[in-house]
């Protein structure tokens, strides 16, 4: 794997957590194998997860009706996105077909263990089956 570029997008608030330990092991092991490892530590960066008009630094293509997808697409072509987005895109293009970050945050907070699932009861045997 020597010379390969690896991006780790780390999203956990506690560096001493199990996830933090896994990140450290991954960095150490991949580096030993000769990989170039970059980490985006979203909590340490205070990364803004919400998609808003503030992400667009230039003029909107349709100022009367804001459509994030359309505006982000147009702004991307013009390099008119905020610097935090552009910096992350230099590491790796970050657009995935998923729910908006605020909804993901809602899922993480509301659908917690004890309410939506328990161990080992997941999915078809869980509380919300």
pLDDT in tens, 28-87: 999 999 999 999 999 999 999 888 999 999 899 999 999 998 999 999 889 999 999 888
Residue 89's pLDDT is 83
Residue 112 domain-assigned?
Answer: yes
CA 74, CA 71: separation in Å to the nearest integer? 5
Residue 16 domain-assigned?
Answer: yes
**Four-point Cα dihedral 50, 53, 54, 58, nearest 10:** 140
Q: Higher model confidence: residue 30 or residue 4?
A: 30
CA 8, CA 27: separation in Å to the nearest integer? 8
Residue 129's pLDDT is 67
Report how far apart, in Å, the C-alpha atoms of 124 and of each of 12, 36, 37, 102, 119 are.
27, 41, 38, 26, 13
Residues 37 and 82 in one domain: no
End-to-end CA distance of the chain: 42
Residues 57 and 116 in one domain: yes
Quote the tokens at residue 44. Answer: 């340490």
The whole model's pTM is what?
0.70
Residues 6 and 29 in one domain: yes
Q: How many domains are contained in the chain?
A: 2
Residue 129 domain-assigned?
Answer: no
pLDDT in tens, 5-20: 898 989 899 999 999 9
Does 96 have pLDDT greater than 70?
no
Mean pLDDT of 21-26: 97
Residue 90's pLDDT is 85
Q: Which domain holds residue 14?
A: 1-47
């Amino acid at each position: 794997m020597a010379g390969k570029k690896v991006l780790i997008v780390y999203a956990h608030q506690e560096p001493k957590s199990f996830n933090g330990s896994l990140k450290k092991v991954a960095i150490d092991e991949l580096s030993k194998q000769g990989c170039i490892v970059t980490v985006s530590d979203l909590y340490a960066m205070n990364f803004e997860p919400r998609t808003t008009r503030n992400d667009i630094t230039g003029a909107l293509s349709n100022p009367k009706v804001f459509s994030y997808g359309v505006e982000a697409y147009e702004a991307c072509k013009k390099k008119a996105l905020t610097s935090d987005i552009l910096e992350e895109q230099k590491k790796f293009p970050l657009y995935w077909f998923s729910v908006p970050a605020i909804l993901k945050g809602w899922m993480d907070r509301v659908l917690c263990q004890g309410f939506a699932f328990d161990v080992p009861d997941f999915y078809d045997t869980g509380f919300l089956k």
